[in-house]
Amino acid sequence: MRIVIVGATGNVGTALLRRLRRESGTELVGVARRLPGLDPGEPYDRVAWHSCDVGDPGAVERLAAIFAGARAVVHLAWQIQPSHDRRTLYRTNVGGSRAVIDAAVRANVPALVYASSVGTYAAGPKDQPVSERWPATGVPESSYSRHKAEVEALLDEAEREHPELRVVRLRPGLTFQRDAGTEITRYFLGPLAPVRLLRYGRIPLVPTNRRLRLQAVHADDVADAYAKAVLGDARGAFNVAADPVLTPELVARHFHGWTLPVAAPVLRAAAALTWQARLQPVDAGWVDLALNVPLMSSERAETELGWAPQIDSVTALRELFTGMADRAGTHSPPLSTVPTLPGRPAALLHSRLPGHPNPY
Protein backbone atom coordinates (compact mmCIF):
# COMPACT_ATOMS: atom_id res chain seq x y z
CA MET A 1 0.00 0.00 0.00
CA ARG A 2 1.71 3.14 -1.28
CA ILE A 3 0.87 6.30 0.72
CA VAL A 4 2.33 9.66 -0.30
CA ILE A 5 2.56 12.41 2.32
CA VAL A 6 3.12 15.91 0.98
CA GLY A 7 4.65 18.02 3.73
CA ALA A 8 5.87 14.97 5.64
CA THR A 9 8.57 16.78 7.63
CA GLY A 10 6.44 19.18 9.68
CA ASN A 11 4.58 18.92 12.97
CA VAL A 12 1.71 16.72 11.78
CA GLY A 13 3.76 15.01 9.07
CA THR A 14 6.27 13.78 11.63
CA ALA A 15 3.49 12.39 13.83
CA LEU A 16 1.80 10.75 10.84
CA LEU A 17 5.02 9.00 9.83
CA ARG A 18 5.25 7.63 13.38
CA ARG A 19 1.65 6.41 13.20
CA LEU A 20 1.80 4.80 9.74
CA ARG A 21 5.02 2.93 10.57
CA ARG A 22 2.81 0.73 12.75
CA GLU A 23 0.76 -0.40 9.74
CA SER A 24 2.06 -3.52 8.01
CA GLY A 25 2.38 -3.52 4.25
CA THR A 26 2.67 0.25 3.88
CA GLU A 27 5.13 1.94 1.53
CA LEU A 28 5.64 5.49 2.79
CA VAL A 29 6.65 8.24 0.38
CA GLY A 30 7.53 11.69 1.71
CA VAL A 31 7.44 14.91 -0.29
CA ALA A 32 8.90 18.14 1.07
CA ARG A 33 10.56 21.34 -0.09
CA ARG A 34 13.55 20.62 2.18
CA LEU A 35 14.36 16.99 2.96
CA PRO A 36 15.78 15.44 6.12
CA GLY A 37 19.55 15.00 5.97
CA LEU A 38 21.51 11.79 5.87
CA ASP A 39 20.71 9.33 8.67
CA PRO A 40 17.87 11.43 10.16
CA GLY A 41 16.62 8.61 12.39
CA GLU A 42 13.03 7.78 13.21
CA PRO A 43 10.47 8.47 11.92
CA TYR A 44 12.14 9.77 8.75
CA ASP A 45 14.05 6.60 7.91
CA ARG A 46 12.39 3.90 5.83
CA VAL A 47 10.65 6.64 3.83
CA ALA A 48 11.19 7.23 0.10
CA TRP A 49 11.89 10.97 -0.06
CA HIS A 50 11.27 13.34 -2.96
CA SER A 51 12.09 17.04 -3.00
CA CYS A 52 9.40 19.24 -4.54
CA ASP A 53 8.29 22.81 -3.96
CA VAL A 54 4.54 22.52 -4.58
CA GLY A 55 4.35 26.17 -5.56
CA ASP A 56 6.88 25.88 -8.38
CA PRO A 57 5.85 25.96 -12.06
CA GLY A 58 5.90 22.38 -13.24
CA ALA A 59 4.99 21.01 -9.81
CA VAL A 60 1.92 19.23 -11.21
CA GLU A 61 4.01 17.07 -13.53
CA ARG A 62 6.58 16.35 -10.83
CA LEU A 63 3.93 15.45 -8.26
CA ALA A 64 1.89 13.31 -10.67
CA ALA A 65 4.94 11.15 -11.28
CA ILE A 66 5.49 10.75 -7.53
CA PHE A 67 1.79 9.99 -6.92
CA ALA A 68 1.64 7.22 -9.54
CA GLY A 69 0.42 3.98 -8.00
CA ALA A 70 -0.48 5.55 -4.64
CA ARG A 71 -3.54 4.38 -2.74
CA ALA A 72 -3.82 7.78 -1.10
CA VAL A 73 -2.17 11.20 -0.98
CA VAL A 74 -2.13 13.16 2.27
CA HIS A 75 -1.65 16.89 1.67
CA LEU A 76 -0.11 18.59 4.71
CA ALA A 77 2.18 21.15 3.04
CA TRP A 78 1.51 24.71 4.23
CA GLN A 79 3.61 27.81 4.87
CA ILE A 80 3.02 29.99 7.93
CA GLN A 81 6.19 32.04 7.47
CA PRO A 82 7.60 34.38 6.22
CA SER A 83 4.50 36.36 7.20
CA HIS A 84 5.80 39.56 5.60
CA ASP A 85 5.91 37.90 2.19
CA ARG A 86 2.23 37.37 1.36
CA ARG A 87 2.97 36.49 -2.25
CA THR A 88 5.14 33.53 -1.22
CA LEU A 89 2.51 32.29 1.24
CA TYR A 90 -0.25 32.42 -1.38
CA ARG A 91 1.98 30.75 -3.96
CA THR A 92 2.63 27.80 -1.65
CA ASN A 93 -0.66 27.51 0.17
CA VAL A 94 -3.24 28.09 -2.56
CA GLY A 95 -1.17 27.58 -5.71
CA GLY A 96 0.62 24.58 -4.22
CA SER A 97 -2.64 23.01 -3.05
CA ARG A 98 -4.07 23.44 -6.54
CA ALA A 99 -1.00 21.62 -7.90
CA VAL A 100 -1.47 18.73 -5.45
CA ILE A 101 -5.16 18.39 -6.38
CA ASP A 102 -4.43 18.50 -10.11
CA ALA A 103 -1.60 15.98 -9.75
CA ALA A 104 -3.80 13.59 -7.76
CA VAL A 105 -6.43 13.73 -10.51
CA ARG A 106 -3.83 13.27 -13.24
CA ALA A 107 -2.29 10.26 -11.46
CA ASN A 108 -5.72 8.67 -10.84
CA VAL A 109 -5.13 8.54 -7.10
CA PRO A 110 -8.20 7.03 -5.39
CA ALA A 111 -8.10 9.22 -2.26
CA LEU A 112 -6.89 12.69 -1.29
CA VAL A 113 -6.78 13.58 2.41
CA TYR A 114 -6.30 17.30 3.02
CA ALA A 115 -5.09 19.15 6.11
CA SER A 116 -7.76 21.76 6.60
CA SER A 117 -8.18 23.53 9.94
CA VAL A 118 -10.58 25.10 12.37
CA GLY A 119 -9.28 28.25 10.67
CA THR A 120 -11.32 27.47 7.56
CA TYR A 121 -14.57 28.27 9.36
CA ALA A 122 -16.42 31.56 9.34
CA ALA A 123 -16.77 33.36 12.66
CA GLY A 124 -18.89 31.33 15.03
CA PRO A 125 -20.05 30.68 18.59
CA LYS A 126 -17.77 30.27 21.57
CA ASP A 127 -20.42 28.78 23.85
CA GLN A 128 -21.47 25.70 21.88
CA PRO A 129 -19.70 23.49 19.31
CA VAL A 130 -20.55 23.54 15.62
CA SER A 131 -20.64 20.63 13.20
CA GLU A 132 -18.86 20.34 9.85
CA ARG A 133 -21.86 22.04 8.25
CA TRP A 134 -20.77 25.42 9.63
CA PRO A 135 -19.73 27.68 6.68
CA ALA A 136 -16.11 27.05 5.64
CA THR A 137 -15.69 30.57 4.29
CA GLY A 138 -12.97 31.77 6.64
CA VAL A 139 -12.33 34.82 8.79
CA PRO A 140 -11.63 37.64 6.30
CA GLU A 141 -9.11 39.49 8.48
CA SER A 142 -6.79 36.45 8.52
CA SER A 143 -4.78 35.54 5.41
CA TYR A 144 -4.28 32.03 6.84
CA SER A 145 -8.05 31.61 7.13
CA ARG A 146 -8.73 33.05 3.68
CA HIS A 147 -6.21 30.66 2.12
CA LYS A 148 -7.71 27.66 3.93
CA ALA A 149 -11.19 28.60 2.74
CA GLU A 150 -9.97 29.09 -0.82
CA VAL A 151 -8.41 25.63 -0.87
CA GLU A 152 -11.64 24.13 0.44
CA ALA A 153 -13.41 25.76 -2.51
CA LEU A 154 -10.87 24.12 -4.84
CA LEU A 155 -11.69 20.78 -3.27
CA ASP A 156 -15.42 21.41 -3.77
CA GLU A 157 -14.72 21.92 -7.45
CA ALA A 158 -12.56 18.79 -7.65
CA GLU A 159 -15.30 16.70 -6.05
CA ARG A 160 -17.89 17.96 -8.51
CA GLU A 161 -15.70 17.32 -11.54
CA HIS A 162 -14.11 14.07 -10.35
CA PRO A 163 -16.60 12.13 -8.21
CA GLU A 164 -14.35 9.07 -8.39
CA LEU A 165 -11.80 10.89 -6.18
CA ARG A 166 -12.48 10.29 -2.50
CA VAL A 167 -11.76 13.59 -0.74
CA VAL A 168 -11.38 13.83 3.03
CA ARG A 169 -10.81 17.11 4.89
CA LEU A 170 -9.60 17.04 8.48
CA ARG A 171 -10.21 20.23 10.45
CA PRO A 172 -8.16 20.00 13.66
CA GLY A 173 -7.76 22.54 16.40
CA LEU A 174 -4.36 23.76 17.58
CA THR A 175 -1.98 20.82 17.21
CA PHE A 176 0.72 20.29 19.83
CA GLN A 177 3.56 17.90 20.61
CA ARG A 178 6.89 18.21 22.39
CA ASP A 179 8.98 17.87 19.20
CA ALA A 180 7.24 20.95 17.75
CA GLY A 181 8.43 23.19 20.59
CA THR A 182 11.18 24.97 18.67
CA GLU A 183 9.16 25.19 15.45
CA ILE A 184 6.08 26.72 17.08
CA THR A 185 8.26 29.17 19.00
CA ARG A 186 9.98 30.27 15.78
CA TYR A 187 6.78 30.52 13.73
CA PHE A 188 4.47 32.13 16.29
CA LEU A 189 6.46 33.77 19.09
CA GLY A 190 9.84 34.72 17.67
CA PRO A 191 13.31 35.12 19.19
CA LEU A 192 12.42 37.55 21.99
CA ALA A 193 9.86 35.39 23.78
CA PRO A 194 11.24 34.19 27.15
CA VAL A 195 10.19 30.57 26.59
CA ARG A 196 12.92 29.21 28.87
CA LEU A 197 10.76 30.39 31.79
CA LEU A 198 8.31 27.65 30.87
CA ARG A 199 10.71 25.07 32.33
CA TYR A 200 9.23 25.98 35.70
CA GLY A 201 5.70 25.25 34.51
CA ARG A 202 4.59 28.83 35.07
CA ILE A 203 3.06 31.56 32.94
CA PRO A 204 3.06 34.68 35.15
CA LEU A 205 0.47 36.65 33.16
CA VAL A 206 -2.24 35.38 30.79
CA PRO A 207 -4.20 37.93 28.69
CA THR A 208 -7.91 37.16 28.88
CA ASN A 209 -10.86 38.01 26.69
CA ARG A 210 -14.28 36.38 26.68
CA ARG A 211 -13.75 35.20 23.07
CA LEU A 212 -10.32 33.68 23.65
CA ARG A 213 -11.68 30.13 23.82
CA LEU A 214 -9.74 27.66 21.68
CA GLN A 215 -9.48 23.91 21.12
CA ALA A 216 -6.32 21.87 20.94
CA VAL A 217 -5.33 18.30 20.18
CA HIS A 218 -2.13 16.27 20.43
CA ALA A 219 -0.28 15.64 17.16
CA ASP A 220 -0.37 11.87 17.74
CA ASP A 221 -4.17 11.97 17.99
CA VAL A 222 -4.39 14.06 14.82
CA ALA A 223 -2.09 11.55 13.10
CA ASP A 224 -4.42 8.73 14.13
CA ALA A 225 -7.33 10.56 12.52
CA TYR A 226 -5.33 10.91 9.30
CA ALA A 227 -4.43 7.23 9.36
CA LYS A 228 -8.07 6.23 9.81
CA ALA A 229 -9.07 8.52 6.93
CA VAL A 230 -6.39 7.04 4.66
CA LEU A 231 -7.07 3.40 5.50
CA GLY A 232 -10.86 3.65 5.58
CA ASP A 233 -13.49 4.74 3.07
CA ALA A 234 -14.84 7.92 4.64
CA ARG A 235 -15.50 11.08 2.63
CA GLY A 236 -16.05 14.69 3.56
CA ALA A 237 -15.00 16.92 6.44
CA PHE A 238 -14.18 15.92 10.02
CA ASN A 239 -13.57 18.14 13.03
CA VAL A 240 -10.74 16.91 15.27
CA ALA A 241 -10.32 18.34 18.77
CA ALA A 242 -9.85 17.24 22.37
CA ASP A 243 -11.37 18.43 25.62
CA PRO A 244 -11.29 20.64 27.60
CA VAL A 245 -11.68 23.93 25.76
CA LEU A 246 -8.62 26.07 26.49
CA THR A 247 -9.58 29.36 28.11
CA PRO A 248 -7.22 31.96 29.61
CA GLU A 249 -8.62 31.15 33.05
CA LEU A 250 -7.93 27.44 32.60
CA VAL A 251 -4.40 28.05 31.34
CA ALA A 252 -3.67 30.43 34.21
CA ARG A 253 -4.92 27.90 36.73
CA HIS A 254 -2.85 25.02 35.38
CA PHE A 255 0.28 27.13 34.91
CA HIS A 256 0.11 29.17 38.11
CA GLY A 257 -0.44 32.57 36.53
CA TRP A 258 -2.64 35.63 36.79
CA THR A 259 -5.20 36.70 34.21
CA LEU A 260 -5.25 40.22 32.80
CA PRO A 261 -8.39 41.34 30.94
CA VAL A 262 -7.47 42.87 27.56
CA ALA A 263 -9.94 44.30 25.04
CA ALA A 264 -9.88 42.88 21.53
CA PRO A 265 -8.75 46.18 19.91
CA VAL A 266 -5.78 46.29 22.28
CA LEU A 267 -4.80 42.71 21.40
CA ARG A 268 -5.03 43.51 17.69
CA ALA A 269 -3.05 46.75 18.01
CA ALA A 270 -0.32 45.07 20.05
CA ALA A 271 0.03 42.28 17.48
CA ALA A 272 0.04 44.72 14.55
CA LEU A 273 2.63 47.08 16.04
CA THR A 274 5.05 44.38 17.17
CA TRP A 275 4.69 42.54 13.85
CA GLN A 276 5.36 45.66 11.81
CA ALA A 277 8.38 46.39 14.01
CA ARG A 278 9.70 42.85 13.29
CA LEU A 279 9.66 42.03 17.01
CA GLN A 280 7.52 38.93 16.57
CA PRO A 281 6.36 36.93 13.51
CA VAL A 282 2.53 36.96 13.46
CA ASP A 283 0.24 39.73 12.30
CA ALA A 284 -3.06 40.93 13.76
CA GLY A 285 -4.97 38.51 11.57
CA TRP A 286 -4.02 35.71 13.97
CA VAL A 287 -5.68 37.61 16.82
CA ASP A 288 -8.86 38.01 14.74
CA LEU A 289 -8.72 34.30 13.94
CA ALA A 290 -8.36 33.29 17.59
CA LEU A 291 -11.22 35.57 18.64
CA ASN A 292 -13.60 34.43 15.92
CA VAL A 293 -13.16 30.73 15.06
CA PRO A 294 -15.99 28.64 16.51
CA LEU A 295 -15.74 25.72 18.87
CA MET A 296 -16.05 22.41 17.03
CA SER A 297 -17.88 19.16 17.70
CA SER A 298 -15.82 16.04 16.87
CA GLU A 299 -18.87 13.76 16.95
CA ARG A 300 -18.65 12.88 13.27
CA ALA A 301 -15.01 11.82 13.56
CA GLU A 302 -15.89 9.68 16.56
CA THR A 303 -18.84 7.94 14.90
CA GLU A 304 -17.68 7.62 11.27
CA LEU A 305 -13.89 7.38 11.62
CA GLY A 306 -13.92 5.58 14.95
CA TRP A 307 -11.56 8.24 16.28
CA ALA A 308 -11.19 9.43 19.85
CA PRO A 309 -8.42 11.51 21.41
CA GLN A 310 -6.14 9.70 23.85
CA ILE A 311 -4.54 12.86 25.25
CA ASP A 312 -6.47 15.79 26.70
CA SER A 313 -5.80 19.34 25.54
CA VAL A 314 -4.16 20.52 28.78
CA THR A 315 -1.68 17.63 28.69
CA ALA A 316 -0.93 18.40 25.04
CA LEU A 317 -0.33 22.06 25.90
CA ARG A 318 1.87 21.13 28.84
CA GLU A 319 3.93 18.88 26.56
CA LEU A 320 4.32 21.70 24.04
CA PHE A 321 5.46 24.14 26.73
CA THR A 322 8.05 21.61 27.90
CA GLY A 323 9.28 21.31 24.33
CA MET A 324 9.50 25.08 24.02
CA ALA A 325 11.49 25.39 27.24
CA ASP A 326 13.81 22.55 26.23
CA ARG A 327 14.12 23.78 22.63
CA ALA A 328 12.95 20.40 21.42
CA GLY A 329 12.92 19.41 17.78
CA THR A 330 13.87 16.72 15.28
CA HIS A 331 16.24 16.26 12.35
CA SER A 332 13.71 17.55 9.82
CA PRO A 333 14.18 21.11 8.50
CA PRO A 334 10.88 22.53 9.85
CA LEU A 335 11.43 21.07 13.31
CA SER A 336 15.15 21.78 13.33
CA THR A 337 16.85 23.21 16.42
CA VAL A 338 19.63 24.97 14.45
CA PRO A 339 20.14 28.25 16.40
CA THR A 340 20.59 30.55 13.37
CA LEU A 341 17.23 29.79 11.76
CA PRO A 342 14.81 32.74 11.39
CA GLY A 343 12.74 33.16 14.54
CA ARG A 344 15.54 32.14 16.93
CA PRO A 345 17.72 34.54 18.96
CA ALA A 346 20.99 33.76 17.17
CA ALA A 347 19.34 34.56 13.84
CA LEU A 348 19.20 38.23 14.82
CA LEU A 349 23.00 38.32 14.62
CA HIS A 350 22.64 37.32 10.95
CA SER A 351 19.93 39.97 10.27
CA ARG A 352 17.22 37.30 10.03
CA LEU A 353 14.21 39.09 11.50
CA PRO A 354 10.96 37.40 12.65
CA GLY A 355 8.53 36.87 9.78
CA HIS A 356 11.16 37.71 7.18
CA PRO A 357 12.72 36.35 4.95
CA ASN A 358 12.31 32.97 3.25
CA PRO A 359 13.29 30.15 3.78
CA TYR A 360 11.89 29.49 7.20
Q: Looking at the structure, tell me whether residues 132 and 278 fall in a common domain.
A: no
- List, for residues 194-236, the tens digit of each pLDDT value: 998 899 889 999 999 999 999 999 999 999 999 999 999 999 9
How would you class 153 by CB atoms within 10 Å of its CB: exposed for 0-12, middle for 13-18, buried for 19 or more? Answer: middle
Indicate if 131 and 17 belong to the same structural domain.
Answer: yes
One domain, residues 120 and 210: no
Q: Are 214 and 239 in contact (CB under 8 A)?
A: no
The answer on 42 and 64 residing in a single domain is yes
Rounded (10°) CA dihedral 103, 108, 109, 113: 60
Which pLDDT score is estimated for 15? 98
Tell me the three state secondary structure of residue 259: strand
Q: Is 165 helix (H, G, I), strand (E, B) or coil?
A: coil
pLDDT of residue 169: 98
CATH number at residue 77: 3.40.50.720
Domain that holds residue 190: 178-215+246-293+311-350
- Residue 358 falls within a domain, yes or no? no
161 and 209, same domain (yes or no): no
Output the CA torsion sign for 308, 119, 174, 186: positive
Same domain, 188 and 41: no
Task: Please name the helix (run of DSSP H) or strand (run of DSSP E) that holds residue 157, with its range, or none.
Answer: helix 143-161
pTM for the whole structure: 0.97
Give 280-318 pLDDT, tens digit per residue. Answer: 999 999 999 999 999 999 999 999 999 999 999 999 999
Q: What is the pLDDT of residues 108-155, one digit of tens each?
A: 999 999 999 999 999 999 999 999 999 999 999 999 999 999 999 999
| Tally of domains in the chain | 2
Do 63 and 87 fall within a single domain?
A: yes
- On whether both 149 and 207 belong to a single domain, the answer is no
